[in-house]
Amino acid sequence: MSASYVAIIMDGNGRWAQQHGVPVSEGHRAGADTVKARLRDAVELGVRELTIYSFSTENWSRPQDEVDALMALFSARIIDETPELHEEGVRMRFVGRREGVLPELLEKMDWAEAKTAKNTRLKLFVAFNYGGRSEILDAAERYTGGGEEEFRKLLYAPEMHDPDLLIRTSGEQRISNYLLWQVAYSELHFTDVLWPDFSREDFEEALRAYDARVRRFGGR
Ligand code: IPE
Ligand code: IPE
Ligand code: MG
């Protein structure tokens, strides 16, 4: 079975910028271009859901000018790219805490979700101001019993499938507070490639690696 539900930790923008002798914001810009390109590929490669990590709850601890640049980039890309994504049949959904995000950015996120709400070709979940522990805590506060299926309904995007495959670029082999509930049985793929350099071939290689895995879910 090929991977229908894919999650990506897009890491390495900072190191890419350093390698190229450019400001870190340029690394994030290059990373955003790669998001756009691999999103197109995902549609063609039969991926049904893609969940990308664009900003974690811990990323607020970065230098203020980097945070500001990330917010500006995020905002600009939503406005610039949503119409084209809409044309391509991509449905957008943001997952994460709304508290702490500027109202004008929240408005853009809401606009993109509403505009693309009826699309069915690919679901793009954008984890923004996202933390896996926060997600579980937020759900736990409202949980009144009923088991895993009831708990799942309280997560940020209950309709999101557990990822078949989680890809992390840049050589780090950790989860960094991403989708803690959902990756319980995901296959993990780590590559040394820095996110801005992550090519279609790299993406296809990750999907091929997944094809070769045997998933057991604890069974024999
Ligand atoms: C990932 O790239 C993008 C975000 C966390 C927003 P990094 O900025 O973490 O890149 P490195 O890890 O410093 O190379
Ligand atoms: C994870 O990358 C967050 C995103 C890709 C948005 P980080 O670069 O923030 O993670 P750590 O600090 O290396 O664990
Ligand atoms: Mg990083």
The string of pLDDT tens digits covering residues 158-202 is: 999 999 999 999 999 999 999 999 999 999 999 999 999 999 999
Residue nearest to atom 13 of ligand 1 (CA): 14
- Our answer on whether the CB atom of 129 is closer than 6 Å to any ligand 2 atom is no
Rounded to the nearest angstrom, the distance between the alpha carbon of 166 and the centre of ligand 1 is 17
Rounded to the nearest angstrom, the distance between the alpha carbon of 144 and the centre of ligand 2 is 32
- Our answer on whether the CB atom of 167 is closer than 6 Å to any ligand 2 atom is no
Mean pLDDT of 47-62: 98
Rounded to the nearest angstrom, the distance between the alpha carbon of 12 and the centre of ligand 3 is 5
State the ligand closest to the CA atom of 194.
1
Provide CB contacts within 8 A for 106, sequence distance 6+. 98
Question: In terms of pTM, does the model score above 0.85?
Answer: yes
The answer to whether residue 93 scores a pLDDT higher than 80 is yes
Q: What is the pLDDT of residue 62?
A: 98
Q: Strand order in 5-9's β-sheet?
A: 90-95, 122-130, 49-56, 5-9, 165-168, 187-190
| Pocket of ligand 1, beta carbon within 6 A | 10-15, 55, 59, 70, 170
Between CA 54 and CA 4 the distance in angstroms is: 20
Q: What is the pLDDT of residue 121?
A: 96
The answer to whether residue 8 scores a pLDDT higher than 80 is yes
List, as one string, the DSSP characters of 121-133: SEEEEEEEEE-HH
Mean pLDDT of 43-58: 97
pLDDT in tens, 122-154: 999 999 999 999 999 999 999 999 999 999 999
Distance of CA 59 to the CA centre of its chain: 14
The answer to whether residue 1 scores a pLDDT higher than 80 is no
Could you tell me what percentage of the chain is helix, strand and coil, using 3-state DSSP and rounding each to the nearest 5? 45, 15, 35
